[in-house]
Chain A
Amino acid sequence: MLLPKFDFHEPTTIEEACQIMAELGQKAKLIAGGTDLIVNMKRKVLSPEHLVSLSRIDALKNVDLSDGPLRIGACVTAAALAESEGIKRTFSAFSKGASVLGTPLIRNLATIAGNLVSARPAADLPPSLMAYGAKVVLKKSAGERSVALEDFFRGPGQTVVGKDEILTEILIDKPLGYTGAGYIKLGVRKTLEISLVNVAAFISLDSQDGSIQRARIVLGAVAPIPIRVPSAEQILVGEKPTETLFVRAGETAAQDSRPIDDFRGSAEYRRDMIEVLTRRALEMAFNEARSHE
């Protein structure tokens, strides 16, 4: 399988990369791990005239777990995310997402920014990141902006990232107090799998045995972009967490989602699974919230 021809650029700083993108615009594509882009280029879905590699920019490879929000550089790999003990401790659902992405080989290449910008409906990192309320930083020569991940996706393969913009960082506020989250990927195999449905849930309690203060439920692979389910979230807020409550939230999430039929599974099956997995993800989130401080 031959790759179309292109010119290759390897900036070593973010500024240099922004400058190149400003000059080349439409004609160029950024390449990070290449696990999405190279496949698309081999299949001739894309044939950019220029590739601008981000792999030599060390500033994009840091994970900062110290004070303030967790900051993850664009080029941090899924493997590095999954192996980080600090991330596992504070953001277990996100850590889980990174650990089930692709295969061990793919995880050593695949980057977090590539996973977000490729905007596949079934991608493994967006649901938990949305549930934690993550933001991304987009930079260009003329300046930078920050966008909530919730407002980031536009459709399959489409995001708000401009032609001359680079996603440089992902920020997640550290959850305070009694908070927890869960992520479940459902496929027919344990590995090398595109999800049939994936669900992330986040809840915070007002005290260890208290009521639910905030809740976020995010469904992946059941719509063109990962979606929140406000109706199911509303059922939870202000209530004492119980099994019946989580069952009701699951039912509501299933009712209010519009999954499709395809060769991986029927819409009916997916809807049933949304019900079950939402309940389970909430239980995971609750158990973690109770034990976190």
Chain B
Amino acid sequence: MKRLITLTVNDKKYEVAVEPNMTLVDLLRYELGLTGTKKGCEVGDCGSCTVIMDGNPVNSCLVLAVQANGRDILTIEGLETDEGLHPVQQAFVDKGAIQCGFCTSGMILSAKNLLDRNAKPDEAEVRMAISGNLCRCTGYQKIVEAIKSASGWREGSGKSHE
């Protein structure tokens, strides 16, 4: 039987009826049309389905939609503002950290979460923060460089997005 749930996604409230066996990633992609969140392995290995739930990045393929009832979700679509791309997004573009793009949403969300907690991470901390996000294209080097270059953004010129 379907259940009515309410959740906030990218600051917008949604009320949807979902089957208990629907995962959060399927709710986002197929019911809400937010296809920025990707689906790779579907079993927690790859991180392409990363979303931030109540402030913590998680694999949305392992969360049931009904478990997201009442929660606050941030997906890649929620990062851009009227001022433009989020500094982490911009850094990925500038540094050539995107190839096929399949890992990018998850990478950026994991990176944003890191920088929200630790404005000046060292390289080891950057690599640890994205260690649940697999990339088959870039070899990670440019991703790490992009995250490091974005790490000063809070002190930067009126570019704060929060």
Q: Which residues of A contact B (CB under 8 A)?
A: 1-8, 10, 31, 33-35, 38-39, 42-43, 51, 53, 55, 79, 102-106, 108-109, 190-192
Contact: A102 with B132, CB < 8 Å? yes
Using Cβ atoms and an 8 Å threshold, which residues of chain A touch B132?
102-106, 191-192
Contacts A8-B66, A190-B131 given; indicate if A39 touches B43 (C-beta within 8 A).
Answer: yes
In the docked arrangement, what's the CA distance between A105 and B134, Å?
A: 12
- Tell which of A3, A42, A191 touches B128, judged by Cβ atoms closer than 8 Å: A191
- Tell which of A1, A31, A55, A105 touches B58, judged by Cβ atoms closer than 8 Å: A105
Contact: A8 with B3, CB < 8 Å? yes
Cβ < 8 Å to A, chain B residues 20-72: 20-23, 42-45, 47, 50, 53, 56-59, 61-64, 66-67
Contact: B44 with A39, CB < 8 Å? yes
Instruction: Tell me the nearest residue of chain B to A4, going by C-beta.
Output: B21
Contact: A103 with B131, CB < 8 Å? yes
Interface size on B, residues (CB 8 A): 30
In the docked arrangement, what's the CA distance between A36 and B26, Å?
A: 19
Instruction: Tell me the nearest residue of chain B to A50, going by C-beta.
Output: B20
Residue-by-residue, is B131-157 near A (CB-CB < 8 Å gives 1, otherwise 0)? 111000000000000000000000000
Q: List 13 A-B contacts (CB under 8 A).
A: A3-B23, A5-B21, A8-B20, A38-B62, A42-B43, A51-B20, A102-B44, A103-B132, A106-B132, A108-B57, A108-B58, A191-B131, A192-B131
Contact: A6 with B21, CB < 8 Å? yes
Cβ < 8 Å to A, chain B residues 56-94: 56-59, 61-64, 66-67
Contact: A109 with B59, CB < 8 Å? yes
Instruction: Tell me the nearest residue of chain B to A37, going by C-beta.
Output: B62
In the docked arrangement, what's the CA distance between A33 and B44, Å?
A: 12
